Amino acid sequence: MQIILCFAIATLYSCDNTSTPPANPYDYYPLSIGQYSIYQVNEVIYSSGQNDSIVNSFQEKDEVISLTTDVMGNETYTIWRSSRINESGYWQKNKEYKVQRVPDKIIVDLNNETIVPLIFPIDLSLQWNAYLYFNLNDKDYRYGYKSKYQKIGEPLTIKDKNFKNTVKVEERLDTTGLIKYNLAVKYYAEGVGLISEKEADFEYLQNNGELEGYKVIASGKRKDRVIMDYGHN
């Protein structure tokens, strides 16, 4: 399966197979006031009853704007997310979310959901429920999956950017089923944070319980988010 995933995203990434544990796991999700990351986002939305899919392409910027610390020493960062159509457009803030760093995990409060994208220590043997604080029902496309580390401390090239140490997290992988397709993979780079994410969740067209054609997409979404720039203001 590792070979298949590497081939599927070969246009963006060069794959490696090292697994060196990180010296400081927080380095894969660094946070400081003024830190920002800019991403190119491409998504395709499929809707039942619609012949044509909706294609969106835009840019997002996440910027850390403040920090609070509780009595236990846990840090909570406030992040603004802005978007624009392209590099010549103006940034428009469209949401605000929180990221908390505790000794054994990262906790993200985004879109009225509390998610755990990383747990510590970073180790290939670990699996965890990313929606530990959010009760999913069995109709949700994320239901029943466990996140896990697949690669640790490997070099990775994304477009024209080289990252010395990265971590790959598989959030869900069910791509051989007859009625649905679910894939979510994220890469984090040491000293940078999230550098890429790929998600694809859709159902195939059925009529009275029978498939219409071979894996014709009825509804769902594909999304790719790739880092373009990062730094501090």
pLDDT digit string, tens, across residues 171-180: 999 998 888 9
Which domain does 65 fall in, by range? 2-232
Q: With bands split at pLDDT 50, 70 and 90, how would you rate the model's confidence at 188? A: very high
Distance CA 82, CA 84 (A): 7
Report the range of poorest mean pLDDT among 45-49, 126-130, 217-221.
Answer: 45-49
Q: What is the reported pLDDT for 176?
A: 85
Q: What is the reported pLDDT for 19?
A: 55
- Total number of domains in the chain: 1
Q: What's this model's pTM, rounded to 2 decimal places?
A: 0.87
Cis peptide upstream of residue 121 (ω within 30 degrees of 0): yes
Q: With bands split at pLDDT 50, 70 and 90, how would you rate the model's confidence at 9? A: very low
pLDDT at 11 over 70: no
Distance CA 53, CA 56 (A): 10
Q: What are phi and psi of 129, to 5 degrees?
A: -90, 105
Q: With bands split at pLDDT 50, 70 and 90, how would you rate the model's confidence at 2? A: very low
Determine the residue type at 28: Y
Residue with tokens 């619609």: 50
Which percentage of the chain shows pLDDT scores above 90?
74
